[in-house]
A and B are shown apart, each in its own frame.
Chain A
Amino acid sequence: MSDVAASPNRRRGIVSLTLMAGIMLVGLHIAIGLLTLVWLPYEPNAFTGGRLEGASLAHWVGTDRLGRDLFTQLMIGSRIALTVGLGAVAIGATIGVSIGILAAFASRWLDDALAATLDILIAFPTLLIAMLVVAASDTASLGSAIVALGIALSAIVARLTRILAKRVLVMDYITAARTSGSSWPKIVAIHVLPNIWPTLSVNFALQFGLAVIAEASLSYLGLGAPPPNASWGRMLQEAQGTVYTAPLGAIAPGIALVSLAIGVNLLADGLRARIDAARTLS
């Protein structure tokens, strides 16, 4: 038995290439996002150069049509994207996991009703739901974008949680815990949540990527963070008119957005591979 027991431990030490690439890309954005809190190359709204300048030593990716430094805006964009991603996933996870657990315990008709509602919500595109929520709130702000995306993501989390929790609840160890007089809240806390967490965490990473892209879309449509907040989506929208004369203004935020989205997806993939490997071995 000891040789069987040793192999997952050995494997645990190795971080796959996918996971490593994901950690590096996401880590880069986190580092930049944190850096903006203490240092920026220029004042984000100061007119520090000519209009629509190309790349130079003073302005690494040039300036926008008002002469503001684009690299500074890109850095702030990292912080905003990460804030929105984290906030939306936190809200989506809280609401989604609560509803999912509730549905797993609910009587049959309530469970069916919840499941049907969730399926209908999921049938709507995430972005559409988020736009409705933003439209319902008075002013577009970073906060309303986060809440909107969180609510939109919660349906997917709820459906996944419900199915995972149901699968755990039929296990003998749950019955054993109940036989020994454990209460339902206690069982959820020490048995159900830890056992569904590995799968949920991978899903949260994917949702994070979705939220980042959705925030860019909202901002592009003018429903995200209002100016002067430099969101990648708004930068793309502003660069649209000058894409032939100053292509860097559109390419740079595009690359930033794609690199974070790919990084998050690689991270999720790498995590899933590791969890699957651990599961097969046990």
Chain B
Amino acid sequence: MSPLLEITGLSVRSATKVLVDTLSLTLQRGERLGLIGESGSGKSLTALAATGLLAPGLRASGSVKLAGREVVGAADRDLDQLRGKAVAIVFQEPLTALDPLMRVGRQIREPLRRRARRDGRPLSGQALDAAVLAIMVDVALPDPVRIARAYPHELSGGQRQRVAIAMAIACEPDLLIADEPTTALDVTTQAEIMALLDRLVRDRNMALLFISHDLPLVASAVEQVIVLRQGVAVESGPVARVFSEPAHDYTRSLLSAARRFDAALEGRQ
């Protein structure tokens, strides 16, 4: 069976710079892959390129095959069909990932309704409402009936991110891309969201592309990891090996920075 996501020699260029340089990766169904690197290393661009959602000024070359279909150079009309079911994204900042003027319940309802209609089994209004509540329970949102009627600004950061995750899994995607999903959250909430993502990915047998600069977080969430630096993949392999025997200087510097941070934290306690 062909891999779910197969990126071969992907480059992303702006008018003046190469932002991602001949990157290749493969992701099978149910696999978890981490993409790590500092800000501006091209992690998020890779995710957007994988779904054909690059900003107009950016050009992708190479090949991205999502569920066997070529994404680079494909028309939006063809990709719309693919996007709803093959892939969904959870973004870093849950406040901007939710429409500020739409009730939370409706934001989850839209992708649900679309997915159901595409599959040729359109749901009635009541069935949709029930499905929205079921998903909200699944992402452990407290008091779903009340929250479904709330606007995003009335929720806490963690609740917002749960809503964003609910919207993503409402599409029943085969691949979930999580783009720094916990960076905007406090540490306790981070742990809860990571546990939630872990459970959802396992329960629904999704593949996970986890993008982060937070090494311990990546280590806990994925099996394989790719280290990006200025758009170039400098190292890749199983998490345990890359973190215990880093082969590249850049990976070593990332690791030692993370260790120094840990040490500083422990020293203070």
Contacts and interface: CB of A to CB of B under 8 A. Distances in A.
Interface of A: 1, 4-5, 107-108, 170-173, 175-184, 190-191, 194-195, 281-282
B89 A195 contact: no
Given A1-B155, A181-B118, A172 B96 contact: yes
B99 A175 contact: no
Nearest to B91: A172
A107 B150 CA distance: 37
A170 B164 CA distance: 17
Contact of B102 (A170, A175, A178, A194): A194
Interface residues of B, number: 44
Interface of B: 48, 51, 53, 55-57, 76, 80-85, 87-89, 91-93, 96-102, 107, 110-111, 114-115, 118, 150-156, 164, 167-168, 170-171
A262 B82 CA distance: 54
12 contacts: A1-B156, A5-B153, A173-B96, A176-B167, A177-B110, A178-B53, A179-B87, A179-B168, A181-B82, A182-B110, A194-B99, A282-B151
A213 B56 CA distance: 42
Given A175-B89, A190-B110, A194-B101, A180 B83 contact: yes
B96 A181 contact: no
Contact of B88 (A107, A180, A184): A180
A20 B102 CA distance: 28
A114 to B, nearest CB: 15
Contacts of A194: 99, 101-102
Contact of A181 (B56, B89, B100, B171): B171
Contacts of B87: 179
Contacts, number: 89
A176 B84 contact: no
Given A181-B118, A282-B153, A176 B89 contact: yes
B81 A282 contact: no
Contacts of A190: 99, 102, 110
B105 to A, nearest CB: 14
Of B96, B99, B110, most A-chain CB atoms within 10 Å: B99
A191 B99 contact: yes
B114 A180 contact: yes
Of A170, A176, A191, most B-chain CB atoms within 10 Å: A176
B114 A181 contact: yes
Given A4-B154, A179-B168, A195-B99, 20 more contacts: A1-B156, A171-B96, A172-B91, A173-B97, A176-B97, A179-B53, A179-B171, A180-B83, A180-B110, A181-B80, A181-B84, A181-B111, A181-B115, A181-B118, A181-B171, A182-B110, A182-B114, A194-B102, A282-B151, A282-B153
A179 B110 contact: no
A28 to B, nearest CB: 32
